[in-house]
Amino acid sequence: MQGFFISHDPGMKVKKKTLLNILLILFVVSFFVTPLGQYSKIALMQLFSFSPEIVRTSDRQKLPFYNWTLKDAKGEFFNFERSRGKVVLIDFWASWRLPSLPELKSLQGLYDDYGDRVDFYIITNEEQPPAEAFMQEYGFTFPITYQFLESESPLPDTEPPRSYLIDREGYMVVDQKGMADWNTTKVRELLDGILANPEQP
């Protein structure tokens, strides 16, 4: 009986390896030059973003002042003094900083449920037209606040993405450098505690 032999063509292995290398290169390049890559990076950022860290009560810093001039969505000046004695969430963002987008998406979810009890300041130093276009593109409904660079900020850093949660007494309960997921059970429980009791949670 004649046996069957399977031939292993080394050339075939080389071709498969070359094809896999080409596909891998194309996949990597797509991360930088195609919309698919943009969506993939945002999805990965959302997947690996976590709740902001809560500052220990003994380490919390108090705002040095509230006399801070800002501009509202209509470009009109107002003073941050109006939020004295209130719970405040501040986020510095920029449309050109990719980590800002997934963070803003999480803030939108939080704003939907707490916008009537917490003062949200979603702050940018961009011009109004591109900022509004960005808001419309992604369906954000929270109000934009614009920086007035001639007015000194009471916060230690305003480089986006940077976020703060401030209690009624003016203490920074959260001082978050870099992207975070704000729409989490941890953050909601923290907010519920602060809103229910003026004392430190």
Question: Which pLDDT tens digit goes with each residue over 27-52?
Answer: 555 555 555 444 454 454 444 457 99
Is the Cβ–Cβ distance between 145 and 122 less than 8 Å? yes
Please write the tens of the pLDDT for every residue from 172-189.
999 999 999 999 999 999
Domains of the chain: 13-47 (no CATH), 57-196 (3.40.30.10)
Percentage of the residues of the chain whose pLDDT score is greater than 70: 77
pLDDT score at 46: 47
- Cβ within 8 Å of residue 179, ≥6 positions away: 45, 49, 99, 100, 102, 103, 161
CB 176 within 8 A of CB 162: yes
According to the per-residue pLDDT averaged within each range, which of 14-23, 45-54, 104-113 is highest?
104-113
Backbone conformation region of residue 75, classed left if phi is above 0, alpha if psi is from -120 to 50, else beta: left
Split at pLDDT 50, 70, 90, the class of 12 is low
